[in-house]
């Protein structure tokens, strides 16, 4: 297998694991929310979420019908030989995953609304590349559901506004207006920057960081915890039907800003935060480095999975087995 | 919080008995429809054309299934709900025109729909958003699919379900709604 084939196969495996085997951090966070929840309706909703994750783990079924907008965040090492060809390879992985039934065809021409049928098209999949030191290639994949775009927000604040208050006013406004449409408990991403575009980019990048993992900068970490506590006092709850769990986590990323500009952006991820990370070495050797809810003995438990396991066939409830 | 096991077709009496907070498990036929299908339903009705499926006493499910075509026919892999608010501007007319008794979706709907539910005698229930494989488990068969020209997610899927739920009734025919911040589309 050529290195290019290995990259496509690894990206394909990232898609196959993300959309079927829930990231371990998300599974644990939903179970914790269910343990704490007091309202009977909210508990019922969280119970359905847990059953969904376990069912998908056991049968290899896609977790959610809206497999979203395919989004790749790529860390490309200096010494990794595949460069500009990456875009084509990732597109190929998305196309194959759609044809194999892992992704629902969601991509449409904005002028005609015609569905391209394979999730590709101008600017799709979304691919962001970061150049990093080292020889390896890391591909982070996320399937971001359509509903989770609705609470997205951007605002330019006066720099004298305290950071935490600027973030809170925007987060509260967008969640109160649109939170229920994004399938809460959501993950909230916040970006602080000196330009609008950079704030939005950072707010989306923030969503890739696992639930519970705090920012390296202690000041930001404290702000994440403060905002999370405030969000969960809003009372929107699972699916917006009231309850304790409105967000599973709040993630912030920041960059230095222009002295006169404080740009704040908010992005959200649905509770079904389907993501996966694969690493490819120049030798072609590839591993899935994220943890996923996967069959362990007779139950499901979060653990590392192999590329082969990521390609487990779909066992449909009718008994039909579909190879992926 | 009563628990009901309903079968389609649903009578007006059954629909009017449902209260916000009740739980329903549904057996029978559900028909999926999203934005484009709602608009086409109204076009059909306005031009006097017969709909490809009879929705009287029926269930409209705001859902774009993830389905694949196999040699044995269509198979639904995941079928959780989509955001209902996108249909708010036409839901009242669609309820009036079709005679459907239950709408299933996520996120809740607005005051126009609530009024229509009271008028026609119908209810709105949510199925947990993102619970796609759980929904697929209760789909026994794809009975039919119409309007595939709209694309797989937007087509009108006629699905036979068994014990589909838990569906949480959040808007009822007495004008009660559990939704506060559903936003506007």
Of A83, A317, A37, the closest CA to residue B132 belongs to: A317
Chain B residue closest to A149 (CA)?
Answer: B83
CB-CB under 8 Å, B75 with A322:
yes
Under 8 Å CB pairs connecting chains A and B tally to 158
Find the mean pLDDT for residues A51-61: 97
For residue B69, the distance in angstroms to the closest alpha carbon of chain A comes to 9
Angle between helices A86-99 and A3-18 (to 10 degrees): 50
Quote the CA–CA distance of B70 and A67 in Å, as a whole number.
20
Report the distance separating Cα A305 and Cα A296, nearest Å. 11
B136 to chain A: closest CA residue: A317
Cα–Cα distance for residue pair B170/B88, rounded to 1 Å: 15
What are the structure tokens assigned to A197, written together?
């575009």
A185: cis peptide before it, omega within 30°? yes
Report residue A247: phi and psi, to 5°: -130, 145
Each residue of A228-279: pLDDT tens digit? 999 999 999 999 999 999 999 999 999 999 999 999 999 999 999 999 999 9
Distance CA B155, CA B141 (A): 16
Q: Is the residue at B129 inside a domain?
A: yes
Distance of CA A217 to the CA centre of its chain: 22
In a domain? residue B153: yes
Question: B133: nearest CA in chain A?
Answer: A63
Between B77, B152, B170, which is nearest A105 by CB?
B152
DSSP 3-state of A86: helix
Closest residue, chain B, to A104 (C-alpha): B66
Q: What angle do CA A158, A164, A166 make, to 5 degrees?
A: 35
**Separation of alpha carbons A200 and A295, rounded Å:** 37
Q: Which of B38, B62, B66, B179 is catalytic?
A: B38
pLDDT of residue B118: 98
Packing angle between helix B111-120 and helix B88-98, nearest 10 degrees? 10
Residues in chain B: 185
Q: State the CATH number of the domain containing residue B98.
A: 3.20.130.10
Out of A61, A179, A270, name the one closest to residue B136 (CB). A61
Mutate to test the interface with A, among B85, B133, B160 (most CBs of A within 10 A): B133
Does a structural domain hold residue B74?
Answer: yes
The pLDDT tens digits of the residues spanning A273-292 come to 999 999 999 999 999 999 99
Residues of B in contact with A238 (CB under 8 A): 128
In 3-state terms, what secondary structure has residue A229?
helix
pLDDT score, position B181 = 53
Q: Tell me, rounded to whole angstroms, the distance of Cα B60 from its chain centroid.
A: 3
Residue A29: per-residue pLDDT: 98
| Averaged pLDDT for residues A163-186 | 96
CB of A119 less than 8 A from some CB of B: no
Residue contact A66–B183, C-beta within 8 A: no
Does residue B181 lie within any of the structural domains?
no
A105 touches chain B (CB under 8 A): yes
Residues 36-95 of chain A whose Cβ lies under 8 A from any Cβ of chain B: 40-41, 44-45, 48-49, 51-52, 55-56, 59, 61-67
Average pLDDT rounded to a whole number, residues A305-319 = 96
Does the annotation count B38 as an active-site position?
yes
Q: What is the pLDDT of residue A298?
A: 87
Whole-angstrom distance, CA of residue A5 vs CA of residue A87: 13
ipTM: 0.94
Q: Which domain holds residue B130?
A: 3-171
**Is B15 a domain residue?**
yes
Q: Quote the CA–CA distance of A194 and A178 in Å, as a whole number.
A: 26
| Residue B179 within any structural domain of the chain | no
Structural domain count of chain B: 1
A246 in B contact zone (CB under 8 Å): no
Cβ separation B77–A56 shorter than 8 A: no
Residue B184 lies in a domain: no
Structure token pair of residue A28: 């644990």
**Closest CA–CA distance from residue A232 to any residue of chain B (Å):** 15
How high does pLDDT run on average in chain A? 97
Assess if residue B130 is contained within a domain.
yes
Q: What are phi and psi of A108, to 5 degrees?
A: -125, 150
For the CA atoms of chain A, what is the radius of gyration?
Answer: 19
Cβ within 8 Å, pair B77-A101:
yes
Q: How close B45 gets to chain A, by Cα (Å)?
A: 23
SS3 content of chain B, % helix, strand, coil (to 5): 30, 35, 35
Residues in chain B with pLDDT values less than 50: 184-185
**pLDDT at position B184, please?**
47
> Is A311 touching B (CB cutoff 8 A)?
no
Best CA proximity match to A181, nearest among B88, B152, B86, B90: B86
């Amino acid at each position: 297998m050529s290195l290019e084939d290995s990259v496509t196969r690894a990206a394909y495996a990232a898609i196959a694991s993300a959309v079927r085997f829930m990231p371990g951090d998300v599974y644990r966070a939903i179970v914790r929310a269910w343990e704490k929840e007091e309202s009977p309706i909210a508990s019922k909703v969280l119970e359905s979420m847990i059953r969904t994750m376990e069912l998908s783990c056991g049968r290899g079924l896609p977790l959610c019908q809206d497999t979203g907008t395919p989004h790749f965040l790529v860390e490309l090492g200096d010494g990794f030989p595949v460069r500009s060809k990456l875009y084509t390879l990732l597109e190929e992985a998305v196309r194959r995953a759609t044809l194999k039934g892992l992704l629902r065809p969601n991509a449409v021409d904005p002028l005609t609304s015609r569905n391209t049928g394979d999730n590709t098209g101008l600017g799709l999949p979304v691919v962001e590349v970061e150049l990093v030191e080292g020889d390896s290639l890391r591909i982070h994949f996320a399937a971001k559901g359509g509903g989770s775009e609705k609470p997205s927000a951007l605002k330019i604040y006066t720099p004298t506004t305290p950071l935490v208050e600027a973030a809170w006013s925007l987060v509260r406004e967008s969640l109160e207006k649109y939170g229920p449409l994004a399938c809460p408990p959501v993950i909230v991403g916040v970006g602080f920057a000196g330009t609008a575009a950079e704030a939005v980019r950072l707010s989306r990048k923030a969503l890739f960081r696992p639930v519970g993992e705090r920012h390296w900068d202690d000041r930001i970490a404290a702000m994440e915890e403060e905002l999370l506590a405030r969000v969960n006092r809003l009372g929107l709850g699972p699916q917006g039907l009231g309850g304790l769990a409105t967000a599973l986590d709040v993630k912030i990323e920041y960059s230095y800003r222009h002295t006169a500009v404080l740009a704040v952006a908010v992005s959200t991820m649905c509770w079904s935060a389907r993501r996966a990370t694969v690493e490819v070495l120049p030798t072609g050797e590839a591993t899935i480095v994220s943890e996923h809810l996967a069959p362990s003995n007779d139950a499901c438990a979060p653990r590392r999975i192999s590329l082969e396991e990521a390609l487990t066939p779909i066992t449909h409830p009718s008994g039909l087995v579909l190879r992926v | 919080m009563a628990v009901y096991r309903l079968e389609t077709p649903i009578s007006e009496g059954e629909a009017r008995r449902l209260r916000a907070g009740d739980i329903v498990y549904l057996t029978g036929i559900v028909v999926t429809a999203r934005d484009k299908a709602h608009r086409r339903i109204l076009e059909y009705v306005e031009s006097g054309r017969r709909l490809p499926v009879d929705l009287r006493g029926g269930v409209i499910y705001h859902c774009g299934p993830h389905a694949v075509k196999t040699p044995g026919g269509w198979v639904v892999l995941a079928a959780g709900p989509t955001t209902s608010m996108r249909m708010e501007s036409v839901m009242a007319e669609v309820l009036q025109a079709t005679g459907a008794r239950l709408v299933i979706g996520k996120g809740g709907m607005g005051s126009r729909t609530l009024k229509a539910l009271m008028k026609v005698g119908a209810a709105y229930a949510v199925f947990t958003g993102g619970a796609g494989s759980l929904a697929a488990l209760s789909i026994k068969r794809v009975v039919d699919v119409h309007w595939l020209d709209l694309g797989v997610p937007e087509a009108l899927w006629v699905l036979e379900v068994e014990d589909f739920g838990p569906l949480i009734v959040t808007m009822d025919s007495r004008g009660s709604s559990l939704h506060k911040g559903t936003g506007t589309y």
